[in-house]
Structure formats: structure tokens, C-alpha cells
A and B are shown apart, each in its own frame.
Chain A
Amino acid sequence: MIAQALMRRRERRVLPGFGLSLGISLTFVSLVLLLPLTSLVGQLSQLSWSQYWFLITDPRLLASYAVTLFGAGVAALFNAAFGLLMAWVLVRYEFPGKRLVDALMDLPFALPTAVAGITLATLYSSNGWIGRLLEPLGISVSYTWVGIALAMAFTSIPFVVRTVQPVLEDLPAEVDEAAMTLGASDGHAFRRVILPYLWPALVTGTGLAFVRSLGEFGAVIFIAGGKPYETEITSLMVFVKLQEYDYAGASAVASIVLATSLALLLAINLWQGRFIKRLHGGRG
């Protein structure tokens, strides 16, 4: 029975190279992702549950969770709005230098995050170009949550732009036009027709930006300053513990970051799958 079922599946597959390509992919995934993860779990296994619980509920660490989540949340929301605007401008209008702006969008991915961090820290420090202007207004960026959110937003903006852009390009002009012929105002058409169309991509992009921000390290530490309980982010805590040769402690904190990211990514994927199924005629 099973053999028969397997045979039938084998026959049905038309694309060649399934076994080989999947094999190589899995090997690679194991080496690059699973092996390090296993060692993380290995480190964790040295701890008892109560030790683990004690480590991850350290007040200083709890404060860092709050800072990280808040910073990443602000950054993601900012990127949702700004990234959508950016994608809109890049798709809907023609202007000189458009290709350059388009290419610049990927810069945060290409730039070493430490370089971004140092640049931002220099610009926004109280005697930096921009920091100097903001100081009299009572806004200080470096060494505050604003700086953290700013650095996180900088490194994660491409996620939103690059997920929304292709969907917006696919949106037929006819759909816009149909809304207009039906008397809809620009605002109404955007809210009821364009935004719902972009919604899955926008949520996915924002979610990815959020997850990325949770784990951001290089760009943030320089501008954040790392004041305990105030501007310490969770990934910095991992670094601090490593410097103290507390591998088990570092692993415990890392496991929290990892679990949160993984859960979020999984949630985004599931949600997106359901949404898309509905658009294609399922009863989601």
C-alpha cells in the first residue's frame, strides 16, 4: 500500500532533480542553521529549569526586553508608514534619479550594521550635525529610546519597501480606475481598494522589520549607549554575558530572542497563507 502510494507520487513528479536539490538544501540548512542551534541547546542543557527561569527573569534583563520590544515596535510602525510611502513613490511616479533612490533602498542591507551605528551615533550625538539642531528643542536622540528606534528603523526599512513594491507594481491600474469611475474619492479608494490589496505584503514586511529589529545589535549599541535598565537591548545582554564567559547565561538570553523571532515568523507565514488563500477563492 505505502510502497504503491510512494510509487504513484514518484511517477507524478515531472520536474527533475528533486532528490538532489532537496538533499543539498537540507545539508546546507543543517550546517548553517541547525548545527549552531544544537550547540545553543547543548549549552542550555547545562541549566536546570529553575536556573533557566532565574536567568531569564533577571530584572535588568526584563528591562532590556521592554526596551527592545518598544524600540522595535516603534521602528516597525514607522517603517510601515514610511516604507509604504517609499514603495508608492518608487512604483507610481517617474522622476529623475528614481533608479538611484531605488538602489539606495538596499543600502541598509549592504552596509555593515556597525558602520551604520557609528554614523548614526555621530550624526545624532549632542554635538553631531543633526543632534546639535535637535538639542535646543529638547529632543535628545542618542542614549535614549528614540536613538534605538531610529537605528532599528534604519536597518529594517528595506524589508517593508521590498515586500510592498512588487505587489504594488502588480496592482493593475484598472483597479484604481474602476474605483474612480464609481465615484470614490482618492482617500476612499486608497483605504478600501489599494490598502487591502497591499495589506498582506505590508503586514509581512512590517513583521519582518520587527523581527529583524529585535535581534539588531551593531547599529543600535553605539547610539543606545547601554545604560542598564534604560537603553540596554536584549542582544547587548547576550554580548555582555559572553564577555563575562557566562556561556550558559548568554545561551539562555539568546534562546528567548530566538524563540520570539521564530514564533513571529511562523505566525506571519501562517497568516499570510490564509489571507492569500482567501483571495484565490478559498473560504479563509
Chain B
Amino acid sequence: MSIRISQIDKRYGRTRALEPIDLDIHDGELIGLLGPSGSGKTTLLRIVAGLEQADGGSIHFGDRDVTRVHVRDRRIGFVFQHYALFRHMTVFDNVAFGLTAMPRARRPSSGEIRGRVMQLLEMVRLQDFAQRFPAQLSGGQQQRVSLARALALQPDVLLLDEPFGALDAKVRQELRRWLRHLHEELHFTSLFVTHDQEEALELSDRVVVMSNGRVEQIATPDTLYRQPANQFVFEFLGDVNRLEGDVEDEVLTCGDARVAVPGVENGRQELLLRPHEIWLGEQPDARAHLPVSVTAVVPVGAEVRLELEADWLGEPWLATIGHAEFERLDVKRGKRLFAQPSRLHRFDTPRPQTLAPLATS
């Protein structure tokens, strides 16, 4: 079922938790709400669930206006960060709770409930744990029970509040993949909150980036990464290096460092670049003279991560280079090298700009 959020806003006393927000979610879409803590993402999720009331605006599930509908009648499934399982009930009873809570007239027979619960437990691969209590399960298993419980009533919409936030990295990875598969199989419309960029980019069909109660950008993971709408999105979605200096005649100078910045007007400018957008060489170039020294080397994974420092840099840069390159340059701690930016990003212009200083010559 599609979700239409229009002009939803929320205040807590004097602080504004949400600016009026519009968001359309298509049927069967998996949407990630991504933002730092305090960005209003959880508030928005809880308003969609009906656990909190918006000050204004409306929410529709399909054609149904649910703005004033009580949470218990919204037909949502909600998964909490800390599972919120009923600890005095067995796994079976937890999953069956929504079905047994129905008014007698609509409640399925106990045989049907049994069948349905076992089917759900099989889906989350916990059929052997039906008679256990929540405290006897691991965190990942508890969250799977919580998901089965939320899906038991076949909700129109599944809402997840930082579902993997309390789990360790390996389990988180596994559950993510598993949720993705489950979504592909069942095609429920789903909205989940996370502060983990990787999680949002991996799981979502589209990501909603939020900060300070505002939507910064709504886009597919790919677009979000390649064409960030503004500096906040750019910085939030990965490591960022900063280059600040005075530009004169399309050359940026900062201490003894300088780099060609074609098309940039004169004055003080701030440019950003990602770690993989730095090339390293033994010699400076006509277009770039950026002397740096290597202060840390992490040769783990597909790429080597280097920390670079220089007196013209406010904070150290992070660069990633290939292992072949790493060996060719014979990089060690303390080694002096010259950096060359393959790309530079600007966000202080009306539209974000990307420069490629090495391509133009």
C-alpha cells in the first residue's frame, strides 16, 4: 500500500522537530530514513505509525486517510530498536499476540493461529524456538521474532525504527541481507529509520536524507552518492576532505600549496573531495602542487587507507589508493608525496558543481 505524507510538521514545546514534510512512498517500496540523531527521522516514523500526533498535515495509506486513526487501527507493523518483546511470553505467544488480541468475532480459530504463527516462525527460521522465552535468544534472534510478530497481522505498512542498531556488525550485515530477501519475496511497503549510511544505501529503493527536521534529499542510493543535492548530503554519505584557500586567476592557494581550479571565481573558497578522488605522486604537477606527508597507513581491505598531513591543511586528509599503487610508490609512514585531486566539489554555488582539474589542461 502506498503512503502519502503531506505537510506533516511537529513541535516539542519551542523546538521544531519537523518542518512541514512531504513524502510519497509507492506500493512495495523500501524506503530508508537516514540522518544524524536529532534529525527528526524517528519522529516522522512514529507519526506515520500513529504513536505520535503531528501538529499539522495528513497521512494517507493508499486512499485511506489515517491522520486521525488510532495506532491500533492503522494496520501497521512496527519493529522497535530494542525489540520490545513481551518477556513473560514464549516466542510463539509473542508472535501470536496480534492474532489473539483480535475481537472474538474476527479472531481466527486457535488452529489457524497455530498454523499462521508456525509459518511465520519458519520464515524467520526460528521454528525450533517457539517455546523459548525471549531472554533465551540472542539479539538477532529476538529481532527476528519481533519482525515475525509485526508481520503476523499482514500489515499494510511495515515500519522499522533502527531495527539493527542494537546488534553487532556481523549479525547486522546478515539481518540486512535477510530483510532485503524477505522484502523481495513479500513486497510489503516499508519505511525504516537508520543513522548508518551503508545500511540505508544497501537496503533502500530510495533514501530520504534528513537533518534538523528537514528533508535534504530524496533519491535512489546511486543518485544520492553521485549527485548529492547539497553539502550536508555529501558529507553525511561518506568521508570528506576539505580544501580551503584563496582563489586568484583560477588557482587556489593555501600556504605553499596551490592547485588549478578552472572556472572558480576569485575569493575565499571551500572545496571538498572524497578519499578516492586523491591521486598521489612523487613529483608535483603544473596543475597541482600539494605537498603532503603520510602519517598513518591501514593496508586492510580492497584499498589502502592513508592519512595525510601538511601545514597548509587544517585537518588531515584521508586518501584511499590501490595496492599496486601503494607498492609502486613504496608508501611508508613519514613519506613525502604530492597529492593531485581528480575531482573537486563545490556546494556554495546555487547548484552543486564538480570540477575535474586534471582533465582540463
Question: Which residues of A are at the interface with B, using a C-beta cutoff of 8 A?
Answer: 172, 174-175, 177-185, 188-189, 192-193, 196-197, 199, 278-281
Cβ-neighbour of B72 out of A185, A193, A280 (below 8 A): A185
Q: Considering the complex, give the chain B residue whose CB is closest to the CB of A174.
A: B84
Evaluate whether A181 and B82 lie within 8 angstroms (CB atoms) in the complex, with A192-B97, A197-B88, A279-B133 already known. Answer: no
Q: Considering the complex, give the chain B residue whose CB is closest to the CB of A200.
A: B88
Contact A281 B136 (CB under 8 A): yes
Residues of B within 8 A of A172 (CB): 82, 84
A-B contact count, CB below 8 Å?
A: 75
Contact A279 B88 (CB under 8 A): yes
7 example contacts (A-B, Cβ-Cβ < 8 A) are as follows A178-B78, A178-B85, A181-B72, A182-B149, A183-B102, A196-B86, A278-B88
Q: Considering the complex, give the chain A residue whose CB is closest to the CB of B87.
A: A279
Residues of B within 8 A of A196 (CB): 86, 88-89
How far apart are B36's CB and chain A's nearest CB, in angstroms? 22
Q: What is the size category of the interface that chain B forms with chain A?
A: 20 to 34
Interface centre among A174, A183, A199 (most CB of B within 10 A): A183
Residues of A within 8 A of B82 (CB): 172, 174
Q: Considering the complex, give the chain B residue whose CB is closest to the CB of A172.
A: B84
Contact A182 B97 (CB under 8 A): yes
Contact B133 A178 (CB under 8 A): no
Cβ-neighbour of A174 out of B76, B80, B88 (below 8 A): B80
Contact A177 B78 (CB under 8 A): yes
16 other A-B residue contacts (CB within 8 Å) besides A177-B78, A179-B86, A179-B101: A174-B84, A175-B86, A178-B84, A178-B86, A179-B97, A180-B72, A181-B71, A181-B72, A182-B97, A183-B153, A188-B101, A192-B86, A196-B86, A197-B87, A281-B135, A281-B136
Cβ-neighbour of B78 out of A175, A181, A185, A193 (below 8 A): A181
Asked if B185 is at the interface (CB within 8 A of a chain A CB), the reply is no
Evaluate whether A182 and B98 lie within 8 angstroms (CB atoms) in the complex, with A177-B51, A281-B135, A281-B136 already known. Answer: yes
Contact B101 A182 (CB under 8 A): yes
Residues of B within 8 A of A180 (CB): 51, 71-72
How far apart are B85's CB and chain A's nearest CB, in angstroms? 8
Residues of A within 8 A of B72 (CB): 180-185
How far apart are B68's CB and chain A's nearest CB, in angstroms? 16
Q: Considering the complex, give the chain A residue whose CB is closest to the CB of B82.
A: A174
Residues of B within 8 A of A199 (CB): 88
How far apart are B304's CB and chain A's nearest CB, in angstroms? 43
